[in-house]
Amino acid sequence: MRDISHKQITLRTARAVGIIFCSEKSIDLINSNKLPKGNLFDVARAAGFLGAKLTPQLLPHCHPVTIDGMDFTFEFLGRKLHSDLFNDDILNRTGIVIQGEAKSIGRTGIEMETLTAVSVAALEIYDMLKPVDTTLEIGHIRLLEKKGGKSDRSRYTESSAVCAVLVCSDSTASGEREDKSGKLICNMLETSNAKVWHYKVLPDDKDAIQKQILDWVKEDIQFIFTTGGTGLGPRDNTVSAVKEILERDADGITEAIRSFGQMRTPLAMMSRSVAGSIGKTLIVTLPGSTNGARESLEAILPGVFHARNMLEGEGHGC
């Protein structure tokens, strides 16, 4: 199965639709509650719930997800109700429209569970109507909408964020060690549609770090990411250097980073990372280890780019 351990836990929703075509006679029997197998829609709803819960057992690559909410609507196919969903050829027929919607808070979406639920509900209706109707047909099952995760976060990368990456490391600055975390950060930012205008390596020296950050602020670099110097060592000066010049704290960013990291290693609690703004520039300090830097960015990208809108006075948005 695909590895989704790097994904953020978010609210994810999905809506799906399907039709079971049937005769006018079947609709009359449903309305008069005279079907041989009893009440139709309550049973179909229950079958849909079971189908959703069993999706990972039916589809090998589907991860088990928590279904935090699910519901169905059953309506007789009609032009007034469904002209936004189907074309005239379909609207001229008789049948039952099934719509399902679901919510889940997790690392992967719930669209397959919703599609499976609608499909199973349609099969249940087929089973209950087949003793009285030989014209049954299931079709037009499709996803109407999904939100959350990658598709929903694309709005944060509609415009390219302008970034700078500062590697703070005595050993890297002296040439004793090759930089990996800084280059990784550059790659991850560019993958998120950001532009990395500057990349620089400095020793973990407070004055040098502060001067470089303030120079980039004057240049109106939108986001500055540092790597290194966030631990408890005697030469871990980056956090102190950045904290002294911040105008506003953004503790929620570092809370998200540590929470995300703590789910993966207990060592995440040792990070002293800080985040905040100077003018209209957001600065985020990231760990010096490659894994720490990667997981920290996984926790905040691309949502962190929305900070620029807030710093320009546009508010939280939606």
Mean pLDDT of 112-131: 96
Q: Is the pLDDT score of 92 beyond 70?
A: yes
Task: Give the pLDDT confidence score for residue 1 in this predicted structure.
Answer: 84
Rounded Cα distance, 107 and 105, in Å: 7
The CATH T-level fold of domain 154-311 is Molybdenum Cofactor Biosythetic Enzyme; Chain A (3.40.980)
Task: Give the pLDDT confidence score for residue 60 in this predicted structure.
Answer: 93
Q: Is the pLDDT score of 26 beyond 90?
A: yes
Q: Is the pLDDT score of 188 beyond 80?
A: yes
Q: Which of 15-19, 127-131, 147-151, 275-279 has the lowest mean pLDDT?
A: 147-151
Who has greater pLDDT, 314 or 98? 98
Task: Give the pLDDT confidence score for residue 291 in this predicted structure.
Answer: 92
Which band of pLDDT confidence, cut at 50, 70 and 90, is reported for residue 109? Answer: confident
Which band of pLDDT confidence, cut at 50, 70 and 90, is reported for residue 152? Answer: low
Q: Is the pLDDT score of 106 beyond 90?
A: no
Q: Is the pLDDT score of 134 beyond 80?
A: yes
Q: Which of 38-42, 58-62, 75-79, 94-98 has the lowest mean pLDDT?
A: 38-42
Q: Is the pLDDT score of 158 beyond 80?
A: no
User: In the chain, what are the domain boundaries?
Assistant: 10-147, 154-311
Q: Is the pLDDT score of 301 beyond 80?
A: yes
SS3 145: strand
Task: Give the pLDDT confidence score for residue 316 in this predicted structure.
Answer: 60
Dihedrals phi, psi of 106, to nearest 5 degrees: -175, -170
Mean pLDDT of 269-298: 92
SS3 313: coil
**pLDDT-above-90 percentage for the chain:** 75
> 230 is written with which tokens?
């966030």
Task: Give the pLDDT confidence score for residue 266 in this predicted structure.
Answer: 80
Task: Give the pLDDT confidence score for residue 155 in this predicted structure.
Answer: 59
CATH of domain 10-147: 3.30.70.640
Is this model's pTM higher than 0.75 or not? no
> 274 is written with which tokens?
């800080």
Task: Give the pLDDT confidence score for residue 52 in this predicted structure.
Answer: 96
Catalytic sites, residue numbers: 127
Task: Give the pLDDT confidence score for residue 177 in this predicted structure.
Answer: 92
Task: Give the pLDDT confidence score for residue 123 in this predicted structure.
Answer: 97
Strand-pairing partners, residue 200, are 166
Q: Is the pLDDT score of 317 beyond 60?
A: no
Q: Which of 8-12, 68-72, 196-200 has the lowest mean pLDDT?
A: 8-12
Rounded Cα distance, 171 and 187, in Å: 22
Q: Is the pLDDT score of 51 beyond 90?
A: yes
pLDDT digit string, tens, across residues 250-261: 999 999 999 888
The H helix count followed by the E strand count for the chain is 14, 10
Task: Give the pLDDT confidence score for residue 154 in this predicted structure.
Answer: 57
Residue type, 222: Q
**pLDDT-above-70 percentage for the chain:** 96
Question: What is the overall mean pLDDT for the chain?
Answer: 91
Spatial CA neighbour of 93 closest among 41, 30, 40, 19: 19
Task: Give the pLDDT confidence score for residue 151 in this predicted structure.
Answer: 59
pLDDT digit string, tens, across residues 217-252: 999 999 999 999 888 787 888 999 999 999 999 999
Dihedrals phi, psi of 299, to nearest 5 degrees: -75, -25
Rounded Cα distance, 6 and 43, in Å: 39
